[in-house]
């Protein structure tokens, strides 16, 4: 059974770079049927898509975050990563990694448990 | 971006009740609409994809309907494990966007 697990620092300072990694187990990230993405949820707010990556390295980013986001993939490790630069308190959130279906409804069908990241001065 | 609006934002109901949650898109999305269940501290769970396709392992008391701009998620007979927050999400256009959520609470 495919599982996703986020890892990375839980505390990042204002203006610094947030870096998270998602490890995929029980399956391969090198599938032509799925994208791999990041979604976040600030405290008390809804879900916001950050971006997605295909195993070939093709990326798709939220327009509102595009200038600060980089998503990369390491197929040899079945991992993909998120970098968010110049963070502010508004970037405090639970960050989820998720698998997204390429066809069908384009749904996010498997999610990680999420990791809380707090941005503090 | 396509805006997704859910109603109600919160809902109190009892075990055994039938409940319906609505989701409206700011422009037509055909049937590119997905529903998720989210419990605190857990990973969100995909319930329904493409408006009405029930995911494997999801109880048949959950059902989805709609097309274009108006969609519904119905739980035919609430069970204790169904109390959670529910989100709709459109995948017709990029960026994919979510509704603000409907919190289903025990009455």
Contacts of residue A26, Cβ cutoff 8 Å, sequence gap at least 6: A1, A2, A3
The answer to whether residues B36 and B11 touch, using CB atoms and an 8 Å cutoff, is no
Listed by number, the residues of chain A in 80-119 with a beta carbon closer than 8 Å to a beta carbon of chain B are 96, 98, 100-101, 104-114
Query: What does the block give as tokens for A90?
Result: 């508004």
Decide the pairing of beta strands A18-25 and A59-61.
unpaired
Taking contacts as CB-CB distances below 8 angstroms, the residues of chain B near A109 are: 46, 49, 55
Residue whose entry in the numeric block shows the structure tokens 């999305």 = B29
| Cβ-based contacts under 8 A for chains A and B | 63
Taking contacts as CB-CB distances below 8 angstroms, the residues of chain A near B96 are: 49, 100, 106
Taking contacts as CB-CB distances below 8 angstroms, the residues of chain A near B52 are: none
pLDDT at B107: 87
**Chain B interface with A: residues with Cβ < 8 Å:** 1, 31-34, 36, 41-46, 49-51, 53, 55, 87, 89, 91, 94-101
pLDDT at A88 over 90: yes
Band (A104; pLDDT cuts 50, 70, 90):
low
For chain A, the DSSP string reads --EEEEES-SEEETTS-EEEEEEEESS-S--TTEEEEEEEE-TTS--EEEEEE-TTS-EEE-TTTTTTEEEEEETTTTEEEEEE-S--GGG-EEEEEEEEESSTT--EEEE---EEEEEE-
The Cα–Cα gap between A56 and A29 comes to: 10
Per-residue pLDDT tens digits for B10-64: 999 999 999 999 999 999 999 999 999 999 989 999 999 999 999 999 999 999 9
Per-residue pLDDT tens digits for A8-36: 999 999 999 999 999 999 999 999 999 99
What is the average per-residue pLDDT within A35-54? 96
């Amino acid at each position: 059974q495919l599982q996703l697990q986020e890892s990375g620092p839980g505390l990042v300072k204002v203006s610094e770079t947030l870096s998270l990694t998602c490890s995929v187990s029980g399956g391969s990230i090198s599938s032509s049927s799925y994208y791999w993405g990041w979604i976040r949820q600030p405290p008390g707010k809804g879900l916001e898509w950050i971006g997605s990556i295909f195993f070939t390295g093709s990326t798709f980013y939220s327009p509102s975050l595009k200038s600060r986001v980089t998503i990369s993939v390491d197929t040899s490790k079945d991992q993909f990563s998120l970098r968010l630069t110049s963070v502010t308190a508004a970037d405090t959130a639970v960050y989820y990694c998720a698998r997204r279906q390429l066809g069908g409804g384009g749904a996010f069908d498997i999610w990680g448990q999420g990791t809380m990241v707090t941005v503090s001065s | 971006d396509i805006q997704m609006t859910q109603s109600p934002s919160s809902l109190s109901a009892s075990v055994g009740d039938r409940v319906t949650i609505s989701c409206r898109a700011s422009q037509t999305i055909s049937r590119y609409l997905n529903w998720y269940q989210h419990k605190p501290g857990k990973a969100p769970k995909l319930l329904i994809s493409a408006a009405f396709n029930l995911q494997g392992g999801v109880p048949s008391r959950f059902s989805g309907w709609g097309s274009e701009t108006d969609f519904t998620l119905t739980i035919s007979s609430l069970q204790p494990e169904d109390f959670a927050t529910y989100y709709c999400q459109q995948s017709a256009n990029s960026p994919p966007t979510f509704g603000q959520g409907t919190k289903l609470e025990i009455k």
